[in-house]
Amino acid sequence: MGSAPLAARVVVPVPLPRPFDYLPPSGQTLPPVGSRVLVPFGKRECVGLVVDHQAPTHASDRLKPISQVLDPALVSPQLLELALWCCRYYGAAPGEAVNLLLPGALRRIRGFRPPPLPFLALTEAGRSAGLERAPRQAEVRESLIDGARPRQELIEQGIGSEVLRRMHQAGLLQEMDRAELPAPEPGPTLNAQQRHAVAAVLAARHRFECLLLAGITGSGKTEVYLRAARRMLARDRQVLILIPEIGLTAQLVRRIESRLGAPARVYHSGLSEGERLACWRAAHDGSARVIVGTRSAVFLPLVRPGLIVVDEEHDGSYKQAEGARYHGRDVAVMRARRLGIPIVLGSATPSLESLHNEYQGRYRLLELSERAGTARLPRWRVTDARGRGGGLDPELVTAIRRHLDTGGQVLVYRNRRGYAPVLMCAECGWSADCHRCDAHMTWHQSAASLQCHHCGHYQRTPPRCPECGSPELLALGAGTERLEDQFRQAFSDVPVHRVDRDSMSGRHDFDELLASVREGQPCILVGTQMLAKGHHLPGVTLAAVLDVDQALFSADFRAPERLGQVVCQVAGRAGRGEREGEFLLLTRHPEHPLVTDLARGHYLGFARRLLDERCAAQLPPATALALLRAEAHQVDAPRAFLKQAAGLLRSAHIEIIGPLPAIMTRRGGYWRFQLWLQADDRARLSAHLGRHYEGLHELPASRQVRWHLDMDALEL
């Protein structure tokens, strides 16, 4: 008897713990691994990826054939295996590989036509064509004779889109992603530490090496990336640069293009489906030589990979919060290892995970301990804010006035949006709490609303206390909106700009603000995390951090690390130009060991002491940690599921703690509990969870809860 015919194993984007077997399309052979296919699934059809060929697990007469092969061998086996490894390691359904590898336009059943590129230019045929009998086309040629122009500009000057379409079809015009770039700028002279770092990257160009570039703020880390990238482009290799936030994209892209003379493609969630698809295809065919993107860009196809850079590698934004809860930085390291190319992890405040890997000999540390050019580190000052009431701190006001009067700009960090974190009744003590979360609602004065920043619940501000009817409602604490109001009153002679998700809602709002601030006129910037991340603002001479005391006493063991990172990042915004900078840290606990440690101004020393404490306490990164989380509308259901899961997952090599309530036990109407799963060996813990992943789905209580695994969890 002959062997049974093989089936195609296909993953589809559904939350089920296994792939599915399909027969080849009628009259055809099995599509190759990595093919994008359309398959019947229940009463609908789904786009999936072929991940293997093997003997079917069910009788062949029970299998359905693939409906259509959409793109044969679209995803390389190497990239496909990386995505499947992510699903196994991070405890996600294998179908999540489809979401990781394909942009939204390729996950849809219906075909997708990407929008036209924004710029138009003349082809050689367009320059030489006889257009005497086509006056509108001749007008187009006259408009483009000096170079490419935006399509929208031509339409606004009265040229019809149909004229442009006909000229493009006739080969007289070509679409372009952007206008031609000027010749590359030479850039500044590197100092000795920067030259050493560039040489180290280039020495590893034919092999894998992970280089941890720990450079203080303003030390020229980006210049190191660009010099290494230039050499890679000269060898016709692609460069992938990951950044944590969309807000950092525009300034980095402008700098890359001006320095390298090559277009930089962009990939992030703020783009349209067409824009993401265009970048994906350009990466796939190799025409995208430099790609800048957020964490999802780590899965872009690369045909000639040469270098991966992860900028601000410490940033928690690299950790995906749903689906496959991967960490973009760690996946980038794994990808570089599999590709055999170097990867650079850059940060002024490296994560303890990366420092621990450096201690273990897995990463190589490159330190930039001095600022590039003539800029100097700011002077640090810790201010005791006890007994200062609810107004602006007098020392802060004095310092701001001094810097503004000498032409400087001021940056003030407060990680709370809204006007006040708490609205309370002065008579009976009622406070505006979210009925769906264990949290206060934030009062937004400008919108006359109360908002929960955890679940998004929104309601109008009551004119009186709902419990006693008193009109005396007190706004306690200060968010960015209140600080903006206070600064406008205290410094009416200068502009005050608020930078948070409420004020920067438009796609280009933040970029336009940064451009105006870089013109150098005195102003005050007050904002949240958006301000603390990697922005070069040479006019800022004073930076201040307000009210960090909550992090000093948090139940989250990662809070001290995050505190140190944000304080050092904000401090690094000051004094990056020619004038000397100053940094103020306002706290009601100036004697706290963490504060005194930070005040020394040396982050690596601070981080190494934290790492020693973590190792002594057997906490990550010294050990591996995974969380099994469950939530439900009824408080008993998640605990029941987690108790069953603890019995299933019991092992001599894994410590299981819980069920424990999450730090915020009730959120969005769901009661949230978790199991802590710790082990000395990360690979063993991941493999153990993978073996029992299907079993977790089959537990009786799993049907009453929403649950997920979170390997290397960052949030508790």
- Return left, alpha or beta for 426; rule: phi > 0 is left, psi -120 to 50 is alpha, else beta: alpha
Q: Give the model's pLDDT for residue 1.
A: 41
More confident residue, 87 or 602: 87
Q: What share of the chain is helix, strand, coil (3-state, %, to 5)?
A: 35, 25, 40
- The mean of the pLDDT values for the chain is 92
> Is the pLDDT confidence value at 248 over 80?
no
Task: Locate 217 and state its tokens.
Answer: 């703020």
In this structure, the number of other CB atoms found within 10 A of the CB of residue 162 comes to 9
465-482 tens-digit pLDDT:
999 999 999 999 999 999
pLDDT digits 0-9 by tens, 250-300? 778 888 988 998 889 999 988 888 889 989 999 999 989 999 999 999 999
- Distance from the Cα of residue 422 to its chain's centroid: 29
* pTM confidence score: 0.90
Q: What is the pLDDT of residues 331-361, one digit of tens each?
A: 999 999 999 999 999 999 999 999 999 999 9
pLDDT at 112: 66
Reported as a single tens digit per residue, the pLDDT across 543-592 is: 999 988 888 888 899 999 999 999 999 999 999 888 899 999 999 999 99
Q: What is the DSSP letter of 119?
A: E
Return d(Cα 492, Cα 484) in angstroms, integer.
Answer: 11
Q: Three-state SS across 431-484?
A: ECECCCCCCECEEECCCCEEECCCCCCEEECCCCCCCCCCCCEEEECCCHHHHH
**What are 428-475's pLDDT values in tens digits?**
999 999 999 999 999 999 899 999 999 999 999 999 999 999 999 999
Question: Angle, nearest 10°, between helix axes 328-339 and 77-89?
Answer: 140
Q: Which residues pair with 379 in a beta bridge?
A: 582
Question: How many residues belong to the chain?
Answer: 716
Tokens of 65: 């054939």
pLDDT at 2: 47
Q: What is the pLDDT of residue 507?
A: 67
To which H or E segment does residue 582 belong? strand 582-587
- 573 touches 532 (CB < 8 A): yes
Percent of the chain whose predicted confidence (pLDDT) is above 70? 98
Q: How many CA atoms lie within 13 A of 586 on its CB side?
A: 19
- Calculate what percentage of the chain has a pLDDT beyond 90: 75
The answer to whether 102 and 35 have CB atoms below 8 angstroms apart is: no
Secondary structure string (H, E, C) spanning 297-335: HHHCCCCCEEEEEEECCCCHHHECCCCCCCEHHHHHHHH
Residue 179: pLDDT band (50, 70, 90) is low
pLDDT at 339: 97
Sheet of strand 44-54: strand arrangement: 20-22, 7-11, 44-54, 36-41, 68-71
Q: What is the mean pLDDT of residues 509-525?
A: 89
Cis peptide bond prior to 462, omega within 30° of 0 = no
Determine the pLDDT at residue 648.
97
Min mean pLDDT across 170-179, 310-319, 402-411, 635-644 is at 170-179
Q: Is the pLDDT of residue 306 over 80?
A: yes
CA–CA separation, 223 and 368 (whole Å):
12
Query: How far from 586 is each of 161, 322, 392, 543, CA to CA, in Å?
Result: 58, 35, 11, 11
Confidence of residue 148 (pLDDT cuts 50, 70, 90): confident
